[in-house]
Structure 1
């Protein structure tokens, strides 16, 4: 089935981490994989970030790179500030293919990263001719910076998060495929076949890597998108159910109620009421 729902933007964009951290808890903490790389430069505050099966604290002057297709979740414990860079899915850059969490201690490193981020932001917000092209040239310098610091920080502070075992590598491949196909009617067997393993093997790998079964991951991703669509669009509930691969609207409603605690229609009305109050 061809999915017929609004896509998230896939062009280069920057967001203040304070705004990202202000999102609903379910949006931040639900483990999911993006179709594009993400770079986080934290300048103030602290929290936790989960990348695959590992959860680590982050603090000021932490640089975190998350490749496309990498399962991750985010939790802010205090007021967090900094910049998030979403690269878009057609960036054409030579970026690391494994996650990085760099804890920078040297003031010159702080200044270097801040300058690179500022240059990108200036181009994106300046809207001058060929601004996006110029911004990607600046991001190319950031890619080189990441490559240079990957090896240097690995032995010093465990900066490399990517010593993935076989289960984690399979789960990462599954998460990436799921991110592309979650709106289809594919089931665990279909995904396992596409990945060249048995459904039992895939489920065991997912549980070992992120604490969820392969089926849990499908359901979590679909219901994440359902919540977003119920809040951000006026697409009928029946159409959301159909476009997210649920066999019937009643099955969608049961699954949604079981995980979220209320039916989809009630969830939408509740958020519509909140929106009216805030305006």
Structure 2
């Protein structure tokens, strides 16, 4: 599977860890120029890091969710939540679009699992709490059954990933990838801070939960703000502070994530999908999709169809 790694990384991303935003690069598996290379992607930490002196500069994956597990070694992670020390049995969660960078000690061993966000959305459709947990970048030390279980699952996933052209390979990968996702999400949820925190954090969490319920309702910023009991200005300030994006773009991103899932996994027409997501005008839906995803809805569907 060596060829598929090209879609995930590129030597041009390498800058010093902690690079300024002007040098942050964005990479994706599909949409703009590349179709899905596989149902998911799994590789060792060493395979990529040792090629670049064990440092991966600031970058983001616009349509990938990543989970890293260090089995041995140490390092540092620069996530949007801050810089974090990494050690033996550390699990790192990187949501879609989050900027991140790494520096590992030579010889660090572990794995990286990358999941297309359409697959993530499908697998978490009935798991709202797990979806919210995985939406936040984090690095946590694993102990006991979590460490043992995830090491076993990652080992099995990595072995299965290297077996090309065997019957049932995609089903095995999906099953193991989903198991990793579920157990990692449970570990992250148990390690998260107690309910509470700052008022801004509560507003953001409530907005995220509301967005999951109302993203297809064509609500405007003022509608979300009213439902949350805050002003549109305050909601926008909280969203920009936490994500760097205005509320309108966060809403568009969620709607387009659902659009990509429907384009990939259903036969509904582009117009029907747009209407389902609250767009009365198909042309408007196509414009928003193209702006957000880098290609038209039909081009995206064609890129996915090439793999089936």
Question: Normalised by the shorter chain, which TM-score bucket?
Answer: 0.5 to 0.7
Q: Which runs of 5+ in 1 are unaligned?
A: 1-15, 31-39, 122-134, 151-158
- Are the structure 2 counterparts of residues 59 and 183 from structure 1 closer, same or farther at C-alpha, using a change threshold of 3 Å? farther
Distance 1:173 1:71 in 2: 19
Contact kept, 8 Å, 2:264 with 2:304, in 1: the verdict is yes
Q: Distance in 1 between matches of 2:146 and 2:229?
A: 41
Q: For 1:105-135, what per-residue CA distance to the aligned partner results, in whole angstroms no more than 9, with x for missing partners?
A: xxxx3x54334558999xxxxxxxxxxxxx9
1:161 and 1:101 map into 2 onto residues whose CA distance is 16
Kindly state the Cα deviation for residue 172 of structure 1 after the two structures are TM-superposed.
1.6
> Residue 212 of structure 1 corresponds to which residue in structure 2?
245
TM-superposed CA distance for 1:244, in Å, is 1.2
CA–CA distance in 2 between the matches of 1:71 and 1:65? 10
State whether residues 71 and 90 of structure 2, in contact with CA within 8 Å, keep that contact through their aligned partners in structure 1.
no
Distance 1:146 1:231 in 2: 29
- Structure 2 distance, partners of 1:221, 1:59, is 33
Count of aligned pairs between the two proteins: 206
Q: Which one of 89, 98, 104 corresponds to residue 61 of structure 1?
A: 89
Q: Quick one: structure 1 residues 195 and 161, their matched pair in 2 at CA, closer, same or farther if it must change by over 3 Å?
A: same
* SS of aligned partner of 1:42: strand
* Equivalent residue number for residue 15 of structure 2: none
C-alpha displacement of 1:240: 0.9
Distance 1:42 1:118, change over 3 A: closer
Aligned to 1:189, which of 222, 227, 234?
A: 222
d(CA) in 2 for partners of 1:260, 1:99: 22
Q: 1:254 aligns with which of 287, 292, 300?
A: 287
Query: Match for 2:140 among 91, 98, 102?
Result: 102
Alignment of 1:107-122 (within 5 A): 109=143, 111-115=144-148
**Mapped pair 1:28 → 2:64:** yes
Return the TM-score normalized by structure 2: 0.50
Aligned residue among 42, 59, 63 for 1:18: 42
**What CA deviation, in whole Å up to 9, does each residue of 1:222-254 have, x standing for no partner?**
112212222222211011101112231110111
| Counterpart contact for 1:182–1:222, Cα < 8 Å | yes
Pick the aligned partner of 1:244 from 267, 277, 282.
277
Counterpart position of 2:21: none
CA contact (8 A) 1:229 1:235 kept: yes
Q: Distance in 2 between matches of 1:72 and 1:161?
A: 25
Counterparts of residues 1-279 of structure 1 (less than 5 Å): 18=42, 25-28=61-64, 42-44=69-71, 53-56=80-83, 60-63=88-91, 73=98, 80-81=111-112, 89=127, 101-103=139-141, 109=143, 111-115=144-148, 164-273=197-306, 275-276=307-308
The normalised TM-score by structure 1 is: 0.55
C-alpha distance 238-90 of structure 1, shift in aligned 2 (>3 A): closer
Matched residue SS, 1:242: helix
For 1:203 and 1:114, locate their aligned partners in 2 and report how far apart those are by CA, in whole Å. Answer: 39
Shift of 1:200: 1.3
Residue 132 of structure 1 is matched in structure 2 by none
- For residue 220 of structure 1, report the CA deviation from its aligned partner: 0.9
SS of the counterpart of 2:280? coil
Structure 2 spans left out of the alignment, 5+ residues: 1-39, 46-59, 105-109, 116-122, 155-178
- 1:155-192 CA deviation, whole Å, 9 max, x = no partner? xxxx8599843323211210111012211122111111
